Amino acid sequence: MRGLFLSLATLAVMALAFWAYRENYATQEAQRDLRRMNAEIADLREALAVQRAEWAYLNRPDRLRALADLNFDRLNLLPLSSEQLSDVALLPLAPAPLFQPTPTLSDLPEVSQ
């Protein structure tokens, strides 16, 4: 009986050691994947920052003005004049809503006694 117990205990220890060995390598692989993904995220963030800087550089007002002047005839642009601007007071107001909801009891003011 004692020999059977020792044999089972030895097998259990060996099974746990094998499980711990496999978990150790699985954990190391997961950590490598995590480091690789973090490096990829950092690279993508850097690339995004570069693209935002390039976009800001390409959309400089002086550059866009020069491009508009260069392609003025080909784009059939009209010169900017003061007649194209208007006063805010001359803008039409929003149309009245088509549906007017009827007041409910909760909308009525309370009467004090």
Q: What per-residue confidence (pLDDT) applies to 111?
A: 63
In the chain, alpha helices (H): 2-58, 61-70, 72-75
* Tally of domains in the chain: 1
Please check whether residue 99 lies inside any domain of the structure: no
In the chain, the N- to C-terminal Cα span, in Å, equals 94
Return the residue matching tokens 């642009």.
Answer: 77
Q: Are 68 and 77 in contact (CB under 8 A)?
A: yes
pLDDT per residue over 19-45, tens digit each? Answer: 999 999 999 999 999 999 999 999 999
pLDDT of 16 above 90: yes
Report residue 54's pLDDT band, with 50, 70 and 90 as the boundaries.
very high
CA 51 to chain centre: 16
Please check whether residue 29 lies inside any domain of the structure: yes
Q: What per-residue confidence (pLDDT) applies to 59?
A: 93
Whole-number Å distance between alpha carbons of 96 and 8: 87
Please check whether residue 32 lies inside any domain of the structure: yes
Please check whether residue 77 lies inside any domain of the structure: no
pTM > 0.75: no
Please check whether residue 18 lies inside any domain of the structure: yes
pLDDT per residue over 61-110, tens digit each? Answer: 999 889 888 888 888 877 777 777 778 788 788 887 777 777 676 666 66
Please check whether residue 79 lies inside any domain of the structure: no
Whole-number Å distance between alpha carbons of 65 and 59: 10
Residue 100 phi, psi dihedral angles, 5° rounding? -105, 110
Please state the rounded mean pLDDT for residues 44-71: 93
Please check whether residue 107 lies inside any domain of the structure: no
Residue range(s) defining the domain that contains residue 66: 2-71
Q: What per-residue confidence (pLDDT) applies to 12?
A: 94
Please check whether residue 88 lies inside any domain of the structure: no
